[in-house]
Amino acid sequence: MSESPGDPRFVSCRRHAADAEGGPLTTGGVASLAVLFAGSCLQGMTGFGYSLFCLPLLGLFMPVREAVPILSATSILLNVLVLHGSRRSLRLRWLLPLLAAGIVGTPLGVWLLGSLDETVLRTWIGILVILSAVALLSGFRARLVREGPAMVPVGLVSGLLNGAASFSGPP
């Protein structure tokens, strides 16, 4: 079946091609790359904060539903580097419940990302960023009497946040 200029699919393809004529390095594209670079530097210096820093800023240039997968893909690369650097001190037995629960929570977060209205997503992300900043600035640290039992609920919340906002663990 051939496409003709009157075919709606043909018009749609031409519209997408016209949108791309400006190239990927528009002002928003360059700004997005600068945000990702700055977030990578932050992650390299502190060991965390990549998505927490990048998502609110990327949200200025694109919908959250587009920014989260970009951050998830790029943060995997950054976290593999961090994991490689700390592999000798890794306590896998201690991390397994956290990791398993995170894997269970992530699909729910992805569902929320796809289901919630953009305004609601932006509002919740803003609240998470503000609460995380306040916690960091105040020096708040959760003190757990028994770490083991806490790993499952912490992992579930981490997975949920990771799927919805690419925030796998604001401190």
Contact (Cβ atoms closer than 8 angstroms) between residue 158 and residue 97:
no
CB contact burial 50-72 (16+ within 10 A = b; e otherwise): bbbbbbbbbbebeebeebbebbb
Average pLDDT along the chain: 83
- The token pair that represents 121 in the structure block: 């997503």
Q: How confident is the model at residue 171 (pLDDT cuts 50, 70, 90)?
A: low
Residue 169 and residue 64: Cα distance in Å, rounded? 18
Per residue in 18-47, pLDDT tens? 455 555 578 888 999 999 999 999 988 887
Per residue in 99-120, pLDDT tens? 999 999 999 999 999 999 999 9
Residue 14: the pLDDT is 41
Cα distances from 145 to residues 24, 56, 61, 148, 171, in angstroms, run 50, 34, 43, 9, 18
- The token pair that represents 93 in the structure block: 């037995």
Residue 167 and residue 140: Cα distance in Å, rounded? 18
